[in-house]
Structure 1
Amino acid sequence: MARIVTFDPPSSYVRRSVDVPTLLVALGIYAAFGLLTWYHRSIPFWLLLPLGGITVCLHGSLQHEAVHGFPFRGRFLNSLLVYPSLWLWLPYLTYRESHLTHHRDERLTCPIDDPESNYLTAEQYAALNPLHRALRRAMTTVAGRLLITPAYCVYRAARQLLKAIVTGDRLHLGQWLVHVPAVAIVLWWVMGVCDMSFWKYVVCFAYPGLSLTLLRSYCEHQAAPRIGHRTAVIEAGPFMSFLYLNNNLHFVHHNEPSAPWHGRPARYRQVRNQVLAANGGYCLSGYGEVFRRWLFTPKEPVVHPQGRP
């Protein structure tokens, strides 16, 4: 993957055989998940929901690092480490495929070529019924992103599965077949061992976890003619930065995707002026600013302003 810009000084990152910080994060996630689900009856709902959501979101951040080669050098070991599907809805192999496609920076935000784009083409938007259009408009606000988009993502994943079944798409059907045991492991533990209802798990873990993940990606990218101007940095505090494993410094990640998450803040401080020059100053002071500006106000249009950049 080509860099958007070459920073001066160059990165001094040296790859280790095992990235210990990422491995420790993985162990912490599974320990927290096990304790929260085991003691779910003793934890009040108002506390279980945020803690469950944070744990599942952090696992999603760990999956992102696994896609980019951490903590192990081998793809199989990384896939095995994040195999249990805590958020249930999306096969890891499907996410891996779409996310690596997303990293073609010259196609960022394109409704056709970027599978993680939030935009539609004018033709796609015109083909939607009025209710679907209203939902897409609502999802351009932070409130819609948090409350509606998780369900919408599950709906789209179900449609993609149905399409794979109808068309006989063996590649994606295989990804879903691998996904079934990943879900079964989680539900066996949650429902069979911990005696938690399926809907309690969805409400307190899976849905808020996906919602928090979608908050991170809400303003990572924007439509812009220049490639560098399409990717943001959000100078979040330590808690939100750790929750997203520093992926809030998104321009730095896209420019150096093989660098470790724990080295990203220092790298950003080192090249901050160059980053802001390269991305046109697309910088937010934190997620508080995101809420203040776009809680009920659309950040972007539904239709990509350049059509297909």
Structure 2
Amino acid sequence: MTSGNSERPTASDHEPAGWHASEKRRDEARVEWPTLLVTAAIYVGWLLLTAEAHRLPPALVVLAGGWLIAWHGSLQHEVIHGHPTRWQGVNTLIGAVPLSLWLPFVVYRRSHLGHHATPAITDPFDDPESRYLAFDRSQLGRMRHMAERVQATLLGRLLFGPAIMVGRFLAGELAGLIRDPIGRARDWLPHLAGCAMLVWWLDRCGIGFASYALMFVYPGLSLTLLRSFAEHRAAPVPGHRVATVERAGPFALLFLYNNLHVAHHQRPGLAWYQLPDYYRQHRERLAYDNGGLVYSGYGDVVRRYLLRGHDRLVHPDHAHSDRP
């Protein structure tokens, strides 16, 4: 891993004007057809799979259902960043369909944009998507530490992470409902209306709520957690906190090239299908900028972390005392 250098030219010093023009063209374009094709594949695939699930082997339903839920999460991520049209209302309609049931799209959007906005990525007080803990002697703090320890390894994250993540999120939303009932109602009522329609369709297809949660949602969240497991790491240099997984194979399409995470953070306005070309053109600089935090593929991540923690559980800036 290389170290940072304040004299090293920044991303903007090296970027040709063409990339900024590309983003401008995307903003002016009416639609991004590759993303609309992915949208159609996800929603048509989900309808066909749920309609025919009773005819298919359960293992195939789990594989295809998990893939579609994870793929839909990747699509929602694209929508949050202003794709695939220049009309936010249309984009929201595309992304807000609650296939995973548990996460309102507006909550995800607010959290993820906060993640990109903070200069303190990975800090548990400033980054809403941080997985790190802060020093906490309380009973609640010990419970949080225990939950994170269970899913510290990649195997633990894949097996137990979805249940812990959903449970913690819903507990937080319930606490928020007490503090701000109007705000939570604004977030949840449209989402619950969409969930009601999905549950009605699933009932028509003979799929119970528990079966859908176990065969679609849980494996889908596990795939998503594979992507996010090692994509950030606490480091003194801000640019060294964002990783890259280079050769992702079929997971590249599943994650819509978000495996090239440092490229996405430097150019969050680029559409997913533009990221590989951007990464190829700037690979050496991007690897320098992120301190060499590069994995050859998800097999590399599995080999390193299947039975070993990716990093310490407590953030190094908050390891010894409570935040003032």
Task: Please state which band the TM-score falls in when normalised by the shorter chain.
Answer: over 0.9
Structure 1: gaps (5+ residues):
none
Alignment partner, residue 143 of structure 1: 155
Matching of residue 168 in structure 1 with residue 180 in structure 2: yes
Matching of residue 66 in structure 1 with residue 79 in structure 2: yes
Deviation at 1:173, TM superposition (A): 2.7
Q: Does structure 2 conserve the Cα–Cα contact (< 8 Å) formed by 1:138 and 1:298?
A: no
**In 2: Cα distance, 1:163 partner to 1:131 partner:** 17
Q: Does structure 2 conserve the Cα–Cα contact (< 8 Å) formed by 1:233 and 1:249?
A: yes
**In 1: Cα distance, 2:110 partner to 2:143 partner:** 30
* Correspondence for 1:115 among 128, 134, 139: 128
Instruction: Map 1:92-131 to 2 at 5 A.
Output: 92-123=105-136, 127-128=139-140
Deviation at 1:129, TM superposition (A): 6.3
Instruction: Map 1:268-287 to 2 at 5 A.
Output: 268-287=279-298
Superimposed CA distance per residue, residues 172-214 of structure 1 (whole angstroms, 9 cap, x where no aligned partner)? 33101121012112211112x2111211111110111111111
Q: Does structure 2 conserve the Cα–Cα contact (< 8 Å) formed by 1:223 and 1:306?
A: no
Matching of residue 265 in structure 1 with residue 276 in structure 2: yes
Alignment partner, residue 199 of structure 2: 187
Matching of residue 47 in structure 1 with residue 60 in structure 2: yes
Deviation at 1:292, TM superposition (A): 0.8
Alignment partner, residue 206 of structure 1: 217
Q: Does structure 2 conserve the Cα–Cα contact (< 8 Å) formed by 1:68 and 1:258?
A: yes
Matching of residue 32 in structure 1 with residue 45 in structure 2: yes
Deviation at 1:131, TM superposition (A): 5.4
Deviation at 1:227, TM superposition (A): 0.9
Structure 2: gaps (5+ residues):
1-9
Deviation at 1:138, TM superposition (A): 2.2
CA 1:104 to 1:83, structure 2 compared with 1: closer, same or farther past 3 Å?
closer
Q: Does structure 1 conserve the Cα–Cα contact (< 8 Å) formed by 2:54 and 2:206?
A: no
**In 1: Cα distance, 2:197 partner to 2:250 partner:** 29
SS class of match (2:183): helix
Q: Does structure 1 conserve the Cα–Cα contact (< 8 Å) formed by 2:248 and 2:259?
A: no
Alignment partner, residue 11 of structure 2: 5
Alignment partner, residue 291 of structure 1: 302
**In 2: Cα distance, 1:280 partner to 1:129 partner:** 32
Alignment partner, residue 22 of structure 1: 35
Alignment partner, residue 77 of structure 1: 90
Q: Does structure 1 conserve the Cα–Cα contact (< 8 Å) formed by 2:118 and 2:126?
A: no
**In 2: Cα distance, 1:227 partner to 1:148 partner:** 30
Superimposed CA distance per residue, residues 138-187 of structure 1 (whole angstroms, 9 cap, x where no aligned partner)? 21211111111111121122212211221134223310112101211221
SS class of match (1:106): coil
Q: Does structure 2 conserve the Cα–Cα contact (< 8 Å) formed by 1:164 and 1:170?
A: no
- Which stretch of the first structure deviates more once superposed, 75-84 or 24-33? 75-84
Tell me which stretches of 4 or more aligned residues in structure 1 moved more than 6 Å.
none
Q: Does structure 2 conserve the Cα–Cα contact (< 8 Å) formed by 1:89 and 1:154?
A: yes
Instruction: Figure out how many residues of one structure are paired with residues of the other and give that number.
Output: 303
Alignment partner, residue 4 of structure 2: none
Superimposed CA distance per residue, residues 35-70 of structure 1 (whole angstroms, 9 cap, x where no aligned partner)? 111110111011110110000100000000000011
Compute the TM-score of the two structures, normalised by the length of structure 1: 0.94
- The letter of the residue matching 2:74 is S
Task: Determine what percentage of the aligned residue pairs are the same residue.
Answer: 41
**In 1: Cα distance, 2:161 partner to 2:138 partner:** 20
Deviation at 1:81, TM superposition (A): 0.9
**In 2: Cα distance, 1:151 partner to 1:267 partner:** 36
Deviation at 1:218, TM superposition (A): 0.8
SS class of match (1:187): helix
Compute the TM-score of the two structures, normalised by the length of structure 2: 0.89
> What's the Cα RMSD here?
1.6
Q: Does structure 2 conserve the Cα–Cα contact (< 8 Å) formed by 1:246 and 1:261?
A: yes
- The letter of the residue matching 1:256 is R
Q: Does structure 1 conserve the Cα–Cα contact (< 8 Å) formed by 2:227 and 2:255?
A: yes
Superimposed CA distance per residue, residues 4-58 of structure 1 (whole angstroms, 9 cap, x where no aligned partner)? 7323334141212211111110001011101111110111011110110000100
